[in-house]
Structure 1
Amino acid sequence: MGLPKNSLTEDERIILEFHPHWSTLVSTIFWAIVSVVVAGVIIFFIPDGGSQTLIRLIVAAVGVLAIIVVGFLPFLRWVTTTYTLTNRRFVMRHGILSRSGRDIPLTRVNDVSFEHSLIERIFGTGTLSVESGGEHGQLVLKKIPRVEYTQNQLYRLVEELTDGDGVRP
């Protein structure tokens, strides 16, 4: 669900296409499991009585709603957030129902840097900073998978466009 091929210019090609790192979903999965367990425990311990079925249905409905809010919606946000690096631009798109995005032409990129802590290095993620000339300035993207490789590819493409001498065509 990245950048549609018909959005590319004639000589543009996709170099990298990715979502935020899977570790952004860890808390989502945890809270979805907690919601299921809590709803299950409450349903199991509802005492027998005339309104037992109705109460169980209400608890189940609240549990399903909780799973949608804490599990499914964050997952959809993750799936619909994409980063695409082409040989001409860096493209970000996000949004479930309405979409928004940002394109940074590589010819406007001034600096590309990354950082990651020890834990982030273990998980293969980090923060990518892209500084560009223009009104929006610096873009900081957290939880980028293979951040070192992504930074390297982005820097390499910027250097190719500047012919290595810092002068843009």
Structure 2
Amino acid sequence: MAISKRLLNEGEQVVIDTRTHVKALLWPLILLVVLLAVGTYSEVTLDNRTFKWVIWAVLLVGIVWFVLRPVIIWATATYTFTDRRLITRNGVIVRRGHDMPLARISDIAYEFGPIDRMLGCGTLLISDASTHGTIRLHDIPRVEETQRRVNEMLQHIHDRSGGHEGT
């Protein structure tokens, strides 16, 4: 899952490299089971061979769109914190990326509900001083630990920059 080394600047180190929690695949998995059950039921109960093929064709389209597509989207999206910036990448055909220097982050918080707590994930809220507002990274695994580590990196950046201003 590690981000490509060619996306890093010289001397830049990856601190946190993650993707959306596997919880994002729960509904596609449930839907896959339901679609396969419908296909199996139609195979067993229907006599019309043409109608069976039509049902399987529709189910195949449903599996590709509602199951395979979300899995591919999940597998290709990454969130990476380096010692200098936040790097987000997503997309299959059209890749999208967003980089934010850590020095621009003004606040980092998290939120999670009861299900998120049970699964160990949550939403990371990253605010900067610009007009862009808050970046929401949904379903981040171990969100509390991630927030703590990013806060440590931010403190280190501010300590470093504060030390240079007085000299």
TM-score, normalized by length of structure 2? 0.91
Once the two structures are TM-superposed, the CA of residue 133 in structure 1 deviates from its matched residue by 2.2
Q: Structure 2 unaligned runs (5+)?
A: none
Letter matched to residue 56 of structure 1: K
| Helix, strand or coil at the partner of 1:158 | helix
Equivalent residues in 2 for 1:139-150 (5 A)? Answer: 139-150=135-146
User: Is the aligned partner of 1:36 residue 2:36?
Assistant: yes
Question: 1:25 touches 1:74 (CA, 8 Å); kept in 2?
Answer: yes
Once the two structures are TM-superposed, the CA of residue 112 in structure 1 deviates from its matched residue by 0.7
Once the two structures are TM-superposed, the CA of residue 12 in structure 1 deviates from its matched residue by 0.3
- CA spacing shift, 1:168–1:33, aligned 2, 3 Å: farther
Which has more helix, going by share of residues? 2
Q: Which moved more, 1:134-143 or 1:153-162?
A: 134-143
How many residues get paired?
A: 165
Letter matched to residue 35 of structure 1: L
TM-score, normalized by length of structure 1? 0.90
In 2: Cα distance, 1:53 partner to 1:64 partner: 16
- CA spacing shift, 1:45–1:73, aligned 2, 3 Å: same
User: Is the aligned partner of 1:106 residue 2:102?
Assistant: yes
Letter matched to residue 21 of structure 1: H
Equivalent residues in 2 for 1:1-169 (5 A)? Answer: 1-47=1-47, 52-163=48-159
Once the two structures are TM-superposed, the CA of residue 120 in structure 1 deviates from its matched residue by 1.3
Percent identity of equivalent pairs: 30
- CA spacing shift, 1:71–1:167, aligned 2, 3 Å: farther
Question: 1:2 touches 1:83 (CA, 8 Å); kept in 2?
Answer: no
Question: 1:127 touches 1:147 (CA, 8 Å); kept in 2?
Answer: yes
